[in-house]
């Protein structure tokens, strides 16, 4: 019986079609927006480096969007991701600063360990003690933010030599580069964090699409009762979705540290809301069962592009940024709601 679900029985086709539709719209809007920016803003947007910077700056956000997409498809929510990032960044920065001989691998393990610990705890409370996910992850956010300030109230700058070398290491793509004014060719640069983020997107996509766990997550988000009757272990699946989500936020913390090598109590403030917004723009429904990480990736890119456009335009940056985000989110939410309502009305 379990085999039938994993091999893609036609009954799970329907939500996937909704997913694809919403994702296509998101991708189209991103392409249109970027093209418009290229035409009207010119300047930086014509260079490939601008696109790569978008990836570099938003690498951690891409990873936590994936992490949120997983739990949202399963019908849950995780608002502790921003807090876990700040805790991971602070803990890793302090660990790296503790002595110059600390290895980078153990730092990465520390980051993943913190994320995993949060994932395990929250997953247990949510799936086995049946406490509302919003409350549990809200407490998780408070805990992570509080532990960050307990570790250190002051910013911790990383001076660890090998880690800084790793931060400086970039993937250079020469043919996408541009010629500077003095005639030297400057290759387009992609940070390691961005590469990691892209890999995470692909891996999570494959995981959700082709593994039993991934299919089960869609099933419990779509209809918990039928999933239970199909013999899916609902509690275990939900538990794993939170463990995955927690570990990914630990990884996102490490990627953040590679982008900005300093621990700070206010790191990634409100980033959980940005990640939720990205997932929603990408076509994930909070009700569960519908969603796709590729869409979330483009959702993050849309928010990043808005940020870049506003930063380059003569508007008062932070306030206009929030307004534009809000307006964009409103537009997408309305659009999705109207499309889904029309489709469902047609069917009945």
Partner 1 sequence: MHDRKTLSRGNNGLGQLLIPLIALAILILFNLFRDPGFYAIGISVNNSGNKVLTGNIISVIDSASELAIIAMGMTIVTAATGGQDISVGAVGTIAGSIFVKILKGFAGINIWTVLLGILVCCIVTVLFTSFNGMLVSVFRIQPMIATLILFSCGRSIAYWIIGSATPQIISPIISAMGMTIPGIPIPTPIFGVILVALVLVLLFRFTTLRLYTESVGVNQGAARLNGINPVAIKMLSFVILGICVAIAGIIGTCRMGQVSLKTLLVDIEMDAILAVAIGGNSLGGGRFRIGASVLGAYIIQMLTTTLLAMRVDPVNIKAYKAVMIIIIVVAGSPVIKRKLSQLWNRLRAGRAKVAVQKGGR
73 or 280: CB nearest partner 1: 280
CB of 224 to partner 1, least distance (A): 7
Least Cβ distance, residue 106 to partner 1 (angstroms): 25
CA distances from 53 to 69, 184, 237, 294, 311 (A): 23, 20, 36, 19, 13
Is 185 buried (19+), middle (13-18) or exposed (0-12) by CB count in 10 A? exposed
Least Å distance, CB 3 to partner 1, is: 25
Residue 44 has what DSSP assignment?
G
- In the bound state with partner 1, the residue whose beta carbon lies nearer, of 21 and 139, is 139
- Whether residue 52 contacts residue 190, with contact meaning beta carbons closer than 8 Å, is answered with yes
Q: 178 vs 319, which CB is nearer to partner 1?
A: 319
Least distance to partner 1, CB of residue 89, Å? 16
Smaller CB separation from partner 1, 136 or 156: 136
DSSP code, position 289:
S
Q: Where are the beta strands (DSSP E) in the chain?
A: 156-157, 170-179, 185-191, 262-263
**Closer to partner 1 by Cβ: residue 16 or 286:** 286
Per DSSP, the residues of 159-228 read --HHHHHHHH-EEEEEEEEEE-TTS-EEEEEEEHHHHHHHHHHHHHHHHHHHSHHHHHHHHHHH-HHHHH
**Smallest distance from the beta carbon of 275 to partner 1, in angstroms?**
11
Q: Which residues contact partner 1 by CB under 8 A? A: 77, 125, 128-132, 134-136, 138-143, 145-147, 149-150, 153, 223-225, 265, 273, 276-277, 280, 285-287, 319-320, 322-323, 325-327, 329-330, 333-334, 337-338, 341
């Amino acid at each position: 019986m379990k085999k039938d679900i994993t091999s893609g029985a036609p009954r799970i086709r329907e939500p996937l079609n909704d997913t694809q539709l919403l994702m296509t719209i998101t991708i189209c809007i991103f392409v249109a927006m970027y093209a418009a920016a290229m035409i009207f803003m010119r300047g930086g947007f014509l260079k490939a480096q601008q696109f790569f910077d978008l990836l570099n700056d938003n690498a951690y956000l891409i990873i936590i969007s994936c992490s949120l997409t997983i739990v949202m498809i399963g019908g849950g929510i995780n608002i502790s991701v921003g807090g876990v990032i700040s805790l991971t960044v602070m803990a890793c920065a302090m660990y790296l600063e503790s002595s110059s001989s600390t290895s980078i691998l153990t730092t990465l393990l520390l980051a993943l360990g913190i994320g995993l610990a949060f994932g395990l705890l929250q997953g247990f409370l949510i799936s086995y003690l049946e406490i509302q996910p919003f409350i549990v992850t809200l407490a998780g956010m408070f805990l992570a933010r509080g532990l960050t300030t307990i570790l250190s109230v002051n910013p911790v700058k990383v001076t660890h030599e090998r880690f800084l070398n790793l931060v400086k290491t970039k993937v250079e793509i020469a043919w996408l580069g541009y010629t500077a004014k003095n005639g030297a060719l400057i290759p387009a640069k992609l940070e390691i964090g961005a590469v990691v983020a892209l890999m995470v997107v692909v891996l999570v996509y494959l995981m959700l699409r082709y593994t039993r766990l991934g299919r089960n997550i869609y099933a419990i988000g779509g209809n918990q009762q039928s999933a239970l009757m199909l013999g899916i272990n609902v509690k275990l699946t939900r538990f794993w979705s939170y463990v995955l989500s927690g570990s990914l936020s630990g990884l996102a913390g490490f990627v953040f540290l590679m982008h900005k090598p300093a621990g700070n109590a206010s790191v990634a403030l409100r980033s959980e809301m940005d990640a939720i917004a990205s997932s929603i723009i990408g076509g994930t429904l909070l009700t569960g069962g519908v969603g796709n990480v590729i869409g979330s990736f483009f959702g993050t890119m849309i928010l990043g592009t808005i940020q870049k456009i506003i930063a380059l335009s003569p508007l008062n940056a932070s306030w206009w940024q929030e307004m534009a985000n809000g307006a964009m989110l409103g537009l997408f939410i309305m659009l999705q709601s109207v499309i889904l309502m029309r489709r469902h009305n047609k069917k009945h």
